[in-house]
Structure formats: structure tokens, C-alpha cells
Structure 1
Amino acid sequence: MQAEIISVGTEITLGQITNTNARYLADQLRQLMIEAPWQTNVDDDPTRIKQSLAVASQRAQLIFICGGLGPTEDDRTMAAVGEFLGRDLCLDESYWQEVKATLELRSISTTVNPKNVRQAYYLAGATPLKNPTGLALGTYLKDQDHTYVVLPGPPREFTAMVRESLLPYLKRDFGTGREIFSTLLHFVGRPESLLMSELLSLNLDQRIVVTSYVQPDEIQVRATIHNVKKEEAHRLMKDTLIKIKQKEAGYYIGKGEGMSLAKALVKTLRKKGLKITGAESLTGGLFQATLCSVPGASEVFDGGFVTYAASAKEHLIGVPKETVSEFGVVSKETARAMAIGCQKVMGADVGLSFTGVAGPDSLEGQPAGTVWLGLAIKGQPTITKRLFLPGQTRQAVRQQSVQEGMRLAYNTLL
């Protein structure tokens, strides 16, 4: 079984947004042993949508058309698919009543826009797919030798519809009965090429397939097992994880969907009953914002400091003026004083500091990408660490500094 994913949207073809839907859907299909070797982007023009469908119908049996189901004039996907297949569009009257009730409940306007009725239409003879988080219906249609699936474009709606409404049909009609066992692993602070080289050197069982994905703040590695009985697969996965965790102890942060270094750090602090605070210069509050994005962060974080200027470091957290004058803002001495100062002022167990040069210009003779971290933990010697991140954008330097700071705190606490 081979599939094609057609992503509709002028904003995609113009490069204005990143097409995350195709990646998500292809991964779901992979887990069902369905190949998706063709992925096409097309703008909102109905003629080109139909041309894409004609090409896809020649080479794939399962065809997904994603996007363009909204109420505006440029949302013409459902009509284009209907014209291509020679099928009328049917109004789901009960669903339209639900849409109107939802819009009224949201108090979007005193009068519901009649054009929203477009979102309650589906292809004649098809099964409508309910939208768990949005308004537009999807469509699941078996048409002779082909199956056509029409899905909404907004990622939040798309992923929810695929997960909750579509997958049961795909499993029923295209499931092979073969189980796939997969685990997603998360690593921070290791280049992808080096990480994968080290994992390959472990001589893992040949039934384990390991693939990597570069993310902005981490490297994700997926370990997958095909066609192995459940008990044996669990044993293989357990043995594999033990080997990987031992090899990459300083860089492995956890497994599972939705795992992040910030979540791992918050979990560790909660388990130990500790409070953390921060003093940030070049990162400008990014560490604290990242930490507070984790549910339950309030149990481990009461507050912190953005000490961008030298005077703020002195007045807010007590960094000695002489330290900055003698060693400069970008120094291990200042990083150390910042970590101790914020910890003391907040009465926290852990103080983490960030100071450096985000760029693009140098500072105090230090090139862009020079960063110092400080970590003060009650009862332990204060740690400082230098990072050098040359050739990175300003935002990349800030993001990597936060990740390395959290990794330093996480590994030290472990």
C-alpha cells in the first residue's frame, strides 16, 4: 500500500509557514506500515488541486488532501475534490447546528457568518470525519480502487482529527495486523552525527531500527521494532534503553512524546523537594519562561531575575561592582557571583546564571557566542562552565545557552 499526501495552501507554497502536517501524517502512516513516498504541495487554485489529484491517482491508492476547508473564499479544497471525483457535496445538517452553537458560545459575533456552513459539507457517499478541536468536517471516501481522505489545515485540528477520527478507519481498512513497538528518546548537548555514531557503536540488536531527528532544542532518536512478539519486543527495548542510557548518560534526558529537558528538570527538582531560581543576562528571561512553560513549575520556582545591565547585577542580586570591573561581565567570576547572588536573594536551593555575548557584535573583547554559566547548589561548590557557540544567530545562542544551563543543573542534581 502506497499513499500520497497533498498539502493545500498558498502560504505553504510561498514558504510562509512550515508544513508540519505532512510530517505528522507520514509518521502515523509509517507506524501502520503504509509508505508515503510522494508528498506534494499545491496552492489554493482549484485547477491545480485537481491536477495534483490526477497525478496522485495514477501512482497511489491512498490519497490525503490536507488544508483549505475554512469558511473564506480561498478555501476551495472540498469543492475541487468533489469536481475531480464527480461527486456532489452534502450538508451535514446536524453538524451545522453544532457549528452554529459553537460559534455562538464563543461569542465571536452576534450573527453567525453564513459562509461557515461550508465547514459542514462533505463528499457524497463518504464518511464525514468529526473535528474534535475545530469546525471543519473531514471526509473519508472509498472510491473504487482508491481511498480519498480530506483533512483540515490548522495543525491543532489536523492532528486531533487524524488521531481520534481517522486512524480507526485506516487501521480497519489498511492495518496489516503486524505490531510496531516504538520509543522516542531525547538528547541534549550532543551533535547528531556524533550521537548516532556512538549509538551505532553499541552493536544493538539488528531488529532495532534507530533513526534521528534534529529539533531546535534537542536531538530526538526513535527506536523501532517490527514484527516481534510483544514480550520479546519489550525485552529488546528494555535492553536497548539500558545500553543507550549508559553510553549517553550526560546527554540523555528521557523518553516518550512530549518529553523535554525543562520537564525533566522540573520533575527532578520536585522529586528532591528543591527550589530553583535564575539570573539572566544574555538570555533575557528565556530560561525562566522555558521553565514556567512546564505544568507544576510553580512548585519549584518562585521567581528570578533578568539582570541585563551591570548595574542590575549589582543592585538586584548583589554582584560586587569590583568583580565586574576586574573581570568583566562575560566572565566565570561574574557568572559565579550571579548564581550565588540570585540563590541568596530568593532563598532558593539552586541558582542558575547566564552571562555572555549573544551577538552579533563582540563585547569586552569576547566574540559573539561566548557564554558563561554559573550553578550554585546549597551545600556544594559553585560550578562555572564556558560555552562557545560561534557562527550562530543571536536567538540560537540564547536557546542553546538555556538548554546547556538546564542540562548542567539537571546532570548535577542527578
Structure 2
Amino acid sequence: MNLRLENIILKKIRIYIEERKMKAEIIAIGTELLMGYVVNTNASYISQSLLDIGIGTYYQQVVGDNDERIIEALALAASRSDLIILSGGIGPTRDDRTKLVLAEFLEEELSYDADQLKKVEMHYKKNNRIITEGDYQQALTISDSQTFFNEVGLASGLGYSRLSQNTLKSQHFIVLPGPPFEMKHMMENFAKPFIENQREDYEQIESLYINFYGLGEARVAQAIDDLIVSQTNPTLAIYAKPRLTTVRITASASNKLQAAELNQQAADKIIARLSEFYIGAGEHLSFEASVLGLLKEKKQTLSVAESLTGGMVMEELTAVSGASEVLKGGFVTYQNELKINLLGVNAATIDQYTVVSAEVAMEMAEQCLRKCHTDYALSLTGVAGPNPLEGHPAGRVFIALATKQKATQVIKLELVDKPRDIVREISKHEALNLLRLNAL
């Protein structure tokens, strides 16, 4: 098959797969969002919630409380999306116009939902307040829609379906409250079930995140370039994070199980090429959690003796839930006196080699291992900076790993011209990576 024909086929496959996906769009309504007075956290939550049920968000819009601009946003969304979710603008004030404008756009009538209206009236009666016309509008709903009863607030939401004028496929509109607590409750309890009942004709999306340590985004991309070029289903995307590179694999299929199987097949190919750097799967997996998980799986324990990092390694590890099953404890011996008297480092070793040395790092790790009775012990000693110490430049670091089975290992870092906080941060991660490589 020639290259041109292959590219045409790949393009047609991609178009077919794309047409089978439900495309979601979020319209956040509120002038306060445009002005920057309120951060649009709702859109982030809604996007994540949609991904949970296999739907990707293709577009987001933010518009102010203006009828004309809301109509424009709706027209644009209706021309390109299958699922349109509006958030905000359904409260009791004069500028809360979302339901009214949506009804106009859909050419549908408005009416009051009896249950929500009753709740609104009871709320004002209970609080001895006079109910206004604006208060009543919180109970408005659109003809032929499904009302989403607001169990934690007063303004009801809704779900509405019609045949798209552009694609001749089903098109769905959802209205949610603006306050995040109310929006989340309605999204989980009403909007998601509504969406699930309307999506028979669409494929589901599932994503898998695989993480690598010690490889930059460019090197990962180079290693899987052929997979990226030929991708159809699943698709691949690479993200750079602090100290990590993540590959997101996203597949679509008739159900989530089939999509997950496609993702795993792609993941296996990628991991086989980069196995030395692979630390685990998960969208929010941290490097520290992956190292702890590795030791936990093998029922092994860890202790740490820190100097220049001042407890940063143990702080990072204890931030992970369940760390106590692996991390027994350790020592923060910042001054030589404590290295000698508390940890048990030989004073003669410090005198002969200086505190910034492989020999001192080895003794720190070995004494920590002996005192804490663990399977592994890490130690870190060095010059964080900005000034040199005992003839050693800022950025020189020694990290040691002691175990019961092997000779103590030491690595040396020369982090020249790096700020103090960066030297400490890199040292922390390199210590954990030394542990990871030995625990594999």
C-alpha cells in the first residue's frame, strides 16, 4: 500500500471514529467569571465528570449575563456539539436569564415545576421573607424537558433533548446552577443519569494515564513517534509534569470495557519501550506514591537520614496515605554533632573526608539501616548553597542507599548554578529514584 493511500485510509478512520463520539460543550454564564472575580471551577469539574462516563469535552465558552451573547454562544455550540451544558444564571436576580434565553433559543414555552416551586415558597415562608417574582423564576422549567430538582438549593436545573438541525442526530441541553456545591450535587445525581439515558447511539471514551520518571517530553515523544504518527484509536497525548512525563491514551468503543482493553494494548507497547523509566498508571499518580507502592507490594520498609534536605524526603513520603506501612522513620542530622552523637557517624570519617563525601553518606545510610531495622535506608548529604562548604561547591550532593542484601550504593550530583531550593528538590527526587531502581 502506498503512503498516500495509507494516509487517506487513516484520515477516513479518524473521521469515522470522531463522528461516533458524543461531543460535549460547556457554556459558563456569569459576568463575574469574565471579570475575573470568580474562578470558573465549574467547567473543570463538569469536564472531569463527563470523562468519568466516557464523554470528552471539545469546547468551552464563558459569556456574561447578556441575552444576545448567550444566544450567540448557544448557536455556536448547537452547530458543533451533541451535548451542551450551561452553568449559572438561574438564580432569583434580574440578570439570571439562562432558562429564559434557552427557551427562546429552543422556541419552547416556560412553566413552573410544581415540586421546585413548593420548595421555594416554603423556604421564604419559613424565613418570614416576602417572595418576589424573581424568586419564582428559580422554579422555571422548559416544556418537554426533564426537571432536575435542586435538593441542596432553590434553583432547579433541567435536561432537554431534540434532533439536531445540523447533524440530524440527537442533541441535548443541560442547565445547572452556578454555585459549585449545588452544581456538583445536580451533576452527579441528575445530569449524569440523564446523559446516560440519551447516549445509545454514541461510543464511550476511556482514558489511561501512564507515567515515566527521568525522561523529558521530547525523549518520550521520540521513543513512540511511530505510534503517534499512525494513531487512530486510541489516540496518544504527552504531558510534561514536574519530574514526570505522562502519556494519556484515549480510546473510544461501544462500551468502556472495550475502550479500556484498547488502551491497555497501547500502554503495553509503550511501556515495553520505556520500561526502565515507567513508574505506574494513574492520572494523579505522584512519584512518591509510586515508590511507596513498590515497597508496599514487596512488604519492604524504609528509613531516611537527611542532612541538606532537612526532612524533605520524609515529609514528601508521609504526605502519601498509607506511608506508615513502608516508612518507619529516620533522622534529620543537619549539624555534624548530631551526625556523630545521634546517628553514629564516625567523627574520624568526617575529619578525613569532610561531611560532603561519599564516605559520610555511606555511614549515614548504614547507621540509619542498623538503628531503624529497615530493609532500605537512604541518606543525603551535600551543599545546598548558595555558598560553598569545606572546599565543596554549592550543588554537590552525595546520596547513599544501604540494604541488607547488597553493598551500599552512592551517587554523586553536581547541581552547579542551581538555586538552593532546586538543589534540595532534585536531591530529594534522585534519592527516591535510586531507591526505586533498586526495588524493581
TM-score if structure 2 supplies the norm length? Answer: 0.68
SS at match of 1:380: coil
Contact 1:64 1:151 in 2 (8 A): no
Contact 2:141 2:156 in 1 (8 A): no
Q: Distance in 1 between matches of 2:212 and 2:55?
A: 27
Contact 1:78 1:150 in 2 (8 A): no
SS at match of 1:343: helix
Contact 2:90 2:97 in 1 (8 A): no
Q: How does 1:362-401 map to 2 (within 5 A)?
A: 362-364=387-389, 370-387=396-413, 397-401=423-427
Aligned to 1:335: 361
Structure 1 residue 346 displacement after superposition: 1.4
Cα distance 1:249–1:21, how it changes in 2: closer, same or farther (>3 A)? farther
Report Cα offsets for 1:358-392 as digits up to 9, x if no partner. Answer: 56x24436666554322111121112223455676
Q: How does 1:271-282 map to 2 (within 5 A)?
A: 271-282=297-308
Report Cα offsets for 1:44-72 as digits up to 9, x if no partner. Answer: xx746x676344223113544557999xx
Q: Distance in 2 between matches of 1:402 and 1:94?
A: 59
Cα distance 1:196–1:88, how it changes in 2: closer, same or farther (>3 A)? farther
Count of matched residue pairs: 385
Structure 1 residue 277 displacement after superposition: 1.1
Cα distance 1:88–1:179, how it changes in 2: closer, same or farther (>3 A)? closer
For residue 194 of structure 1, the aligned residue among 197, 213, 219 is 219
Query: Is 1:216 aligned to 2:216, yes or no?
Result: no
Partner AA of 2:321 in structure 1: P
SS at match of 1:79: coil
Report Cα offsets for 1:199-222 as digits up to 9, x if no partner. Answer: 225687653311122333522211
Structure 1 residue 276 displacement after superposition: 0.6
What residue ranges of structure 2 are gaps of 5+ in the alignment? 1-22, 104-109, 130-134, 165-171
Query: Is 1:38 aligned to 2:60, yes or no?
Result: yes
Structure 1 residue 350 displacement after superposition: 0.9
Structure 1 residue 321 displacement after superposition: 3.8
Structure 1 residue 412 displacement after superposition: 0.7
Aligned to 1:139: 157
Cα distance 1:234–1:227, how it changes in 2: closer, same or farther (>3 A)? closer
Aligned to 2:322: 296
Q: Distance in 2 between matches of 1:8 and 1:392?
A: 44
Report Cα offsets for 1:299-335 as digits up to 9, x if no partner. Answer: 2222222333343333332233444455455443443
Structure with larger Rg: 2
Q: Distance in 2 between matches of 1:342 and 1:26?
A: 47
Aligned to 2:380: 354
Aligned to 2:148: 128
Q: Distance in 1 between matches of 2:190 and 2:24?
A: 21
Contact 1:138 1:152 in 2 (8 A): no
Q: Distance in 1 between matches of 2:36 and 2:198?
A: 35
Aligned to 1:104: none
SS at match of 1:284: coil
Cα distance 1:51–1:336, how it changes in 2: closer, same or farther (>3 A)? farther
Contact 2:30 2:65 in 1 (8 A): no
Contact 1:353 1:374 in 2 (8 A): yes
Q: Distance in 2 between matches of 1:162 and 1:387?
A: 50
Cα distance 1:344–1:239, how it changes in 2: closer, same or farther (>3 A)? same
Contact 1:184 1:257 in 2 (8 A): yes
Contact 2:249 2:267 in 1 (8 A): no
Report Cα offsets for 1:155-195 as digits up to 9, x if no partner. Answer: x8866764554333223335643133432212222111211
What residue ranges of structure 1 are gaps of 5+ in the alignment? 100-111
Cα distance 1:165–1:205, how it changes in 2: closer, same or farther (>3 A)? same
SS at match of 1:250: helix
SS at match of 1:190: coil
Q: Distance in 2 between matches of 1:76 and 1:306?
A: 58
Contact 2:88 2:98 in 1 (8 A): no
SS at match of 2:334: coil
Contact 1:79 1:89 in 2 (8 A): no
Query: Is 1:207 aligned to 2:212, yes or no?
Result: no
Aligned to 2:43: 22
Partner AA of 1:294 in structure 2: V
Query: Is 1:166 aligned to 2:188, yes or no?
Result: no
Aligned-pair identity in percent equals: 28
Q: Distance in 2 between matches of 1:77 and 1:328?
A: 74
Aligned to 1:411: 437
Aligned to 1:285: 311
Contact 2:141 2:158 in 1 (8 A): no
Q: Distance in 1 between matches of 2:328 and 2:94?
A: 49
Q: Distance in 1 between matches of 2:415 and 2:88?
A: 39
